Structure 1
Amino acid sequence: MWHRLGVCVVRRAVCLRSLYTMRVNTEDFQSLFTDGLKGLAEIFEKHQYELRMAGGAVRDLLSGTRPTDVDFATTATPAEMKHMFQNAGIRMINNKGESHGTITARLHDENFEVTTLRIDVLTDGRHAKVEYTTDWHKDAERRDLTINSMFLGLDGTLYDYFKGYEDLQNHKVRFVGSAEKRIQEDYLRILRYFRFYGRVALKPDDHEPETLAAIRKHGQGLASISGERIWVELRKMMVGNHAAHLLELIYDLELAQYIGLPPDGNVEEMKRVWQNAKDHSPKPMTILAALFRCTEEVEKMDLRLKVSREERNLALFLVKHRRELCRSKEDPESLKPFTDFIIDNRDMDTQRVCELLKYQGEEKLLSELLRWSIPRFPVGGHDLRKVGFTSGKEIGATLQTLRDVWKKSHYQMDKEELLSHLKP
C-alpha cells in the first residue's frame, strides 16, 4: 500500500496498553509545516505540553491524501493554552469552542484549533459532559471509529491505540470498543458510520453483523438529533461510494422514519437513479429525490432536515418534472424539449435540468446541454412598439407567438425574420 502511495514509512511496534506506533514521513505531511504550524509547535514545546495532530487529518495522511483541515490535541488545558498564547502575543478567536476544550489561535494568517484531551463522563446521546485528562489512550477511547482515533506527533510518530491503521489498510470501518456504547454516547455516530463506510470500504456489503445489530437496536435515538446535523452526514454519505446500498440499508434497519426520509420511500427508483447518475457527480439531493413519491414528501423532509432553499427546490423540481420533461419519442436524440423548457422558464437554473438528465440517465443529452449556451431572443417590446403595437397585453401575446416561432426554428431566426411574421 505504501509503495503505491509513494510514502516513506519506518515502522516500530510498542507494547503499551495496545499502543502501536510507526513513523510517517511523507510529502503531504511535511507540506503541513507552514510558518504558522512551526510557530505553534514552538510555543507548546517551550511550555512542555504535548501537541499532536488528531482524527481525520491523521486518517487522510495515512490514506495518501493531504488533509484540508487539521485538528490538534494537547495535554494543556484551555486555561493553560490561553495563558501561553496571551504571553506570546497570539490572537485567539471563536470563543464558542472553549466550553468544549477548544482554543483557536491565529498565527501567520492561519487558524489552528487545539483541543484539550478529554474523557466523556456523562452522555445523553446528543451532548457530553467532559473532563480534561493528559491520557492520550482515554481520549482515543471516547472517539467514534478506530480510523478516527489515531494521533500523529509533529515528529511523524503515529500513535494508534485501537488498530485504526490496520482497519484503514483492510478497508474496515469499526467502532472503538463496543458499538452499542459508542452509539448510545451520540446517536449521530450511526450516520457517521455509514458516511465513513462509503469512504473506506471496498465492498458495498461488508459490515460486521454486531455493528448492524447495534444500529438497529438504537436507531430510534436518531429522532433526538437535530435535522441540521443529520443532513450534514447524509449529504456527505450521498457523494461517497456505495450510496445506494447505504440508503437501502437505512430502510432495512428501519431508520428512515427518524431522519426525515419517507417511511415508504421508493428504494428501487433510488437504486436505479444512482446507477444512472453515479459517474456524473450528481448532487446529493438528486439521488435522495428518487425516494420521494410526491412533493408533499419533499416538504416533510425539509421540515425535519432544514435543507437549503436550493436543495429543497431541486428536489421539488425533480419530483415534479422527472416524468413529464423527457426526451421526445419522435426525435429521441434531440435536446430540444429541455432547451425549450429553459427558454420558456427564463428564471430557470440550467443546473437543475442537468441534474434531471443525470436522474434520467441521459448521458449523451447531458453532455450536449453542458456545451449549450442559452441563446438570446432577438425581439423585445420596444421592437413591437416601433411597428405600431401599443397595448401591453397585445405586446405580451405577440412576443409569446414570436417566441414559439423562434423555438421552432431551433432559435436560428433573427429579428427581421421574426418581425416579418407579423400581420401587416
Structure 2
Amino acid sequence: MWRRLLNHRGISRTVTWRNLFTMRLKTEQFQSLFTDGLNGLAELFEKNQHELRIAGGAVRDLLSGKRPEDVDFATTATPEQMKSMFQTAGIRMINNKGEKHGTITARLHNENFEVTTLRVDVQTDGRHAEVEFTTDWQKDAERRDLTINSMFLGLDGTLYDYFKGYEDLQNRQVRFVGSADQRIREDYLRILRYFRFYGRVAPGPDQHEPETLAAIRANGRGLAAISGERIWVELKKMVLDNHAGHLLELIYQLDLAQYIGLPPDGNVEEMKRVWHHAKDHSPKPMTILAALFRCSEEVEKMDVRLKVSREEKSLALFLVKHRRELCRSEEEPESIRPFTDFIIDSRELDSQSKLCELLKYQGERKLLSELLQWSMPRFPISGHDLRKVGVTSGKEIGATLQKLRDVWKKSRYQMDKDELLSHVKP
C-alpha cells in the first residue's frame, strides 16, 4: 500500500501507510558529497555487509537544498566491528574519545568520517545518557531531539523518515520527537536547541505549539545543571538566527533567563531594539546580548556562569560602558570623528572592531559603513625624532609625545613630521 510521486526537483517520493516515509533524493548537493573518501567508505561498509546512512542535521540541510558543512554517519556496525574493519583495510582511525558512545572517526583520502553505531538510551539524567547499541534504525531515530533532525539518508539517496520530519521541514515546523516533556527531560539543553532550530526553520515568530512551550516552562529549571559552555554554544547560535529578538523575549517569558546566565531583570525592550537595528549587519552574539545587561556587574555574573571567551566578555563590558556616552557628535552628526579619535587615543588593537559593534548596537548604519572603510593613520613622530631635536629625558619625551598627539588630532591627523616638530620648544 504505497504510491510514488515525482516533482520538478528530481525527488521521487514513496508514501507508505506505515510510520516510515521514504523518498529518493538525487540533488546536486547530495551528489557532490561523493568524494573518493566517501566512495571508499561506502564500499568498505557494503563489502562487510553493514548498513551506512547519513544522519541528523546533514539530512535536514540536503532536504532544504543546502550542501551540509558537516556530515555525520550512522551504522548498524558496532564500534568493535568498525575498528576491525578499518584495521584490516589499513585505514587510520583518529580521536577515540567518542568510542564509548559508539563513534569511530576514520580518515580516508585526507578526509575524516565520523561514524556512530545506532543507539538507544538506557538511562538519562537530563545531561548525559547511558546507551546500548542496536541495529534498529527507528529506535535510534526515536532518541533524537527534533523530528527534522531524526531522519536518515541512504547512500543511494533513499530517505528514511519515521516521525514526519520531512513533512515538518516542508511546513517549516519545529517539533520534538514524540513527547516534548520526555525529550527535554532526557537532556535539558534541548530547550535551547529547540529555540535555535525554530530561528533557523520557522517562517515567523510566535508560531509555537502551546504544549511545547508548556513542557519547556515546566522543565526550565533543569537548565541550571547544564554546563555553561554547552549553554553558550547554543545561545550564541540562536542569537544570530531569525527571530532572535522574539526568542530571547520568550526565554524571559518562560522564566528561563536565571538558569542560563542572563540577568533576571534583563532589558528586553532594549535588546529587541538593538536586534532590529543590527540583525542585517552581521553582529556578534554578544552585541545583541549586551543590550540585556544594565551594568558591568551583570556581565561579570554572566561570565561566571557561561565562561565566555576573554574577547566576548571584553566586548560586553565595552558596550555596556560606552553605549550612551560614545555616540555621534551633535555638531557634526555625519562625522565618524568621535569614533576615530577614540581609536587613536586608546591605541588598542581591537578598538576599531569594538566600535563597529557599538555602531551596530546604536543602529548607525552610515557611520558603520564609513568606519569599516577607515584606516588608522600612522602617528609620524617617535621618541627617536624628539631626541634629534634635543628632548632627551624619558619623562619629557612621553609628555611631549602626548602633547603632539593632541596637536595632530586637532589637525584631523593631517600634520606631517616637520609640522609637528615645529611645535617642540628647543
TM-score strictly above 0.5: yes
For 2:265 and 2:207, the matched residues in 1 are separated by 25
Task: Give the TM-score taking structure 2 as reference length.
Answer: 0.97
Write out aligned runs for 1:257-276 (5 A): 257-276=258-277
Give the Å deviation of 1:398: 1.2
Write out aligned runs for 1:214-253 (5 A): 214-253=215-254
**RMSD over equivalenced CA pairs, Å:** 1.0
What is residue 136 of structure 2 aligned with on the other side?
Answer: 135
Q: What does the per-residue CA deviation read over 1:220-273, in whole Å, with 9 as the maximum and x for residues that have no partner?
A: 000000000000000100110011110000000000000000101111110111
What is residue 4 of structure 2 aligned with on the other side?
Answer: none
What is residue 120 of structure 1 aligned with on the other side?
Answer: 121
Give the Å deviation of 1:15: 3.0
Give the Å deviation of 1:348: 4.0
Q: What does the per-residue CA deviation read over 1:34-64, in whole Å, with 9 as the maximum and x for residues that have no partner?
A: 0100010011101111100000000000011
For 2:276 and 2:15, the matched residues in 1 are separated by 44
- AA of the residue aligned to 2:424: L
Q: What does the per-residue CA deviation read over 1:373-398, in whole Å, with 9 as the maximum and x for residues that have no partner?
A: 01000111111111111121111111
Write out aligned runs for 1:17-36 (5 A): 18-36=19-37
What is residue 87 of structure 1 aligned with on the other side?
Answer: 88
- AA of the residue aligned to 1:331: E
Give the Å deviation of 1:132: 0.8
Give the Å deviation of 1:401: 1.1
Aligned pairs, how many? 419
What is residue 408 of structure 2 aligned with on the other side?
Answer: 406
- Higher deviation after alignment, 6-15 or 359-368: 6-15
What is residue 103 of structure 1 aligned with on the other side?
Answer: 104
Choose the corresponding residue for 1:7, options 6, 9, 13: 9
SS in 1 for 2:123: strand
Give the Å deviation of 1:11: 1.1
For 1:145 and 1:404, the matched residues in 2 are separated by 59
Give the Å deviation of 1:422: 2.3
- Residues 7, 64 of structure 1: 8 Å contact kept: no
For 1:321 and 1:277, the matched residues in 2 are separated by 17
Give the Å deviation of 1:423: 2.9
Give the Å deviation of 1:121: 1.1
- AA of the residue aligned to 1:167: D
Instruction: Tell me, yes or no, if structure 1 residue 370 matches structure 2 residue 372.
Output: yes
Q: What does the per-residue CA deviation read over 1:131-175, in whole Å, with 9 as the maximum and x for residues that have no partner?
A: 111111110000000000000000000000000011001110000
For 2:43 and 2:87, the matched residues in 1 are separated by 15
Q: What does the per-residue CA deviation read over 1:87-121, in whole Å, with 9 as the maximum and x for residues that have no partner?
A: 11111111110000001111111110110111101
What is residue 352 of structure 1 aligned with on the other side?
Answer: 354
- AA of the residue aligned to 1:125: G
- Residues 28, 61 of structure 1: 8 Å contact kept: yes
Give the Å deviation of 1:324: 1.1
For 2:8 and 2:241, the matched residues in 1 are separated by 24
What is residue 157 of structure 1 aligned with on the other side?
Answer: 158
Unpaired runs of at least 5, structure 2: 1-6
- AA of the residue aligned to 2:390: G
Instruction: Tell me, yes or no, if structure 1 residue 393 matches structure 2 residue 398.
Output: no
- Higher deviation after alignment, 239-248 or 383-392: 383-392
What is residue 3 of structure 2 aligned with on the other side?
Answer: none
- AA of the residue aligned to 1:400: Q
SS in 1 for 2:93: strand
Q: What does the per-residue CA deviation read over 1:289-338, in whole Å, with 9 as the maximum and x for residues that have no partner?
A: 11011111111101100111111111111111111111111111110000
Give the Å deviation of 1:6: 7.7
- AA of the residue aligned to 1:10: S
Q: What does the per-residue CA deviation read over 1:3-34, in whole Å, with 9 as the maximum and x for residues that have no partner?
A: xx983211112233x00000000111000000
Instruction: Tell me, yes or no, if structure 1 residue 47 matches structure 2 residue 21.
Output: no
Task: Give the TM-score taking structure 1 as reference length.
Answer: 0.98
CA 1:391 to 1:87, structure 2 compared with 1: closer, same or farther past 3 Å? same
- AA of the residue aligned to 2:114: E
SS in 2 for 1:113: strand
- AA of the residue aligned to 1:258: Y
For 1:255 and 1:315, the matched residues in 2 are separated by 21
What is residue 73 of structure 2 aligned with on the other side?
Answer: 72
Q: What does the per-residue CA deviation read over 1:326-381, in whole Å, with 9 as the maximum and x for residues that have no partner?
A: 11111111100000000001124111110001001110000000110010001111
What is residue 186 of structure 2 aligned with on the other side?
Answer: 185
- Residues 14, 20 of structure 1: 8 Å contact kept: yes
- AA of the residue aligned to 1:210: E
